[in-house]
Amino acid sequence: MAAGKEIRTKIKSVQNTQKITRAMQMVATSKMRKTQERMRQARPYAEKVREVMAHLAQINPSARTSSPFLRNPSELKRVGIILVTADKGLCGGLNTNSVKIFNEKIKEFRNQNVEIDVCVLGQKAFLAANRVKANISGSATGLGDIPKMEQLIGPLTGVFRDFYEQKLDAVYVIYSKFVNTMKQQATFEQILPLSDRDLRLDHKYPWDYVYEPSAEEVLDQLVRRYIESVIYQCVADNMASEQAARMIAMRAATDNAGNAIHELSLAYNKSRQAAITKELAEICAGAAAV
């Protein structure tokens, strides 16, 4: 029964693994609801800032044309990429899909002789940037399950400053967009300079504001707040995607463990039955010889 004992050991090992994956699935399910709620709560603020910013830009064309955040460079010489990933794995292909897009864009920009500064948010992003030997201008890891602006503001300030001083011609963000519980989409978006879509309004106001100190400075500050809220939203989306992907991955792992236990149990029963049949055959053969 050496083989039977070995199979029993494997069954016990898989059962222990199944308990872990089931517990992780339940934890991810609980966290997913909370991260989705935080993701939804972050959207109204970003939309209101965008609306005020767009209104100000429309009624003050001079502020719009003079703002460094709204300039459109004729060519790209140096760009910034903000890569957002999870700190941990065990969430299916979530991090892999974002890193794949990141590697493709790095290769594309390098082929065009465009210099790249990378700002990484998340441990997996930090490791991915190191693998391709990218120039890391800022980083934030250990973000936890709740996005905190004080953790993000440091790395983002450097990106904003470089773009404002025209050291960067464009800034992009890569993150996992939360579509629904079953679908999370790796996304590559341009956040600076702002596009006409960001400054478009569906309605017009018949009044203007009184500015202090000036329309240009107010617009620049609004753009900063807007981009900060966009990045915060990206991080919140990524965290919601992480928990949804982990829940699905752990559910699949739990189901696979159950299938493995079933197959091992069948193998154990067959082995045990074969051993009993062999012993009976030996007893019968011994009795017949006597």
* In a domain? residue 32: no
106-154 pLDDT, tens per residue? 999 999 999 999 999 999 999 999 999 989 888 888 888 787 888 888 8
In this structure, of 23-32, 66-75, 93-102, 174-183, the range with the lowest mean pLDDT score is 66-75
Is there a single domain that holds both residue 157 and residue 253?
no
Q: What pLDDT was estimated at residue 107?
A: 93
Domain assignment present for residue 31? The answer is: no
pLDDT band at 38 (very low <50, low <70, confident <90, very high): confident
Q: Are residues 275 and 238 in the same domain?
A: no
Q: Quote the distance between the C-alpha of residue 28 and its chain's center.
A: 15
* Token pair 């309605």: residue: 203
- Number of other residues whose CB lies within 10 A of the CB of residue 19: 12
Both 48 and 125 in a single domain? yes
Domain span holding position 67 = 42-248
Q: Is residue 262 one of the residues assigned to a domain?
A: yes
Q: Are residues 264 and 197 in the same domain?
A: no
- Weakest-pLDDT range from 64-78, 93-107, 227-241: 64-78
pLDDT single digits (tens) 215-224:
778 777 878 8
pLDDT band for 274, please (50, 70, 90 cuts): confident
Residues 228 and 276 reside in one and the same domain? no
Q: How confident is the model at residue 290 (pLDDT cuts 50, 70, 90)?
A: low
Whether 206 shows a pLDDT value over 60: the answer reads no
Whole-angstrom CA distances from 233 to 2, 64, 103, 246 are 57, 25, 23, 20
Determine, yes or no, domain membership for 33: no
180 pLDDT tier (thresholds 50, 70, 90): confident
Region 64-85: mean pLDDT is 83
pLDDT reported for residue 16? 93
Q: Let me know if residue 235 belongs to a domain.
A: yes
Specify if 36 maps to a domain.
no
Asked if residue 157 has pLDDT above 90, the reply is: no
Residue 104 within any structural domain of the chain: yes
pLDDT band of residue 1 (cuts 50, 70, 90) is: very low
Exposure on the CB side of residue 157, measured as CA atoms within 13 A: 7
How many domains does the structure of the chain reveal? 2
Res. 155: pLDDT tops 80: yes
Confirm whether 150 is domain-assigned.
yes
- Predicted pLDDT of residue 275: 75
**Quick one: pLDDT band at residue 265, thresholds 50, 70, 90?**
confident
β-pairing, 183-192 vs 115-121, is unpaired
Claim to verify: residue 140 and residue 281 sit in the same structural domain: no
What mean pLDDT comes out for the span 187-200?
78
Q: How far apart are CA 102 and CA 120, in angstroms?
A: 11
Burial of 203 (0-12, 13-18, 19+ CB in 10 A): exposed
Domain shared by 226 and 264, yes or no: no
CATH number for 285: 1.10.287.80
* Residues 109 and 187 reside in one and the same domain: yes
Helices (H) and strands (E) in the chain, counts: 6, 5
- Residues 243-254 pLDDT 10s: 999 999 999 999
How far apart (Å, rounded) are the C-alpha atoms in residues 172 and 117?
10
Q: Are residues 155 and 276 in the same domain?
A: no
Q: Is the same domain home to 165 and 282?
A: no
* pLDDT confidence bin for 165, thresholds 50/70/90: confident
The CATH number assigned to the domain holding 182 equals: 3.40.1380.10
Higher-pLDDT residue of 61, 5: 5
From the number of C-beta atoms within 10 Å of its C-beta (0-12, 13-18, 19+), residue 224 rates as: middle
Mean pLDDT value across the chain: 84
Element (H, E) at 170: strand 170-180
Look at residues 215, 233, 248 and tell me which one is the last residue of a structural domain: 248
171 & 284 share domain? no
**How many other C-beta atoms are found inside a 10 Å radius of the C-beta of residue 208?**
11
Mark whether 166 and 284 lie in a shared domain: no
Separation between Cα atoms, residue 80 and residue 173, nearest integer Å: 8
CA dihedral for 80, 84, 90, 91, sign (positive or negative): negative
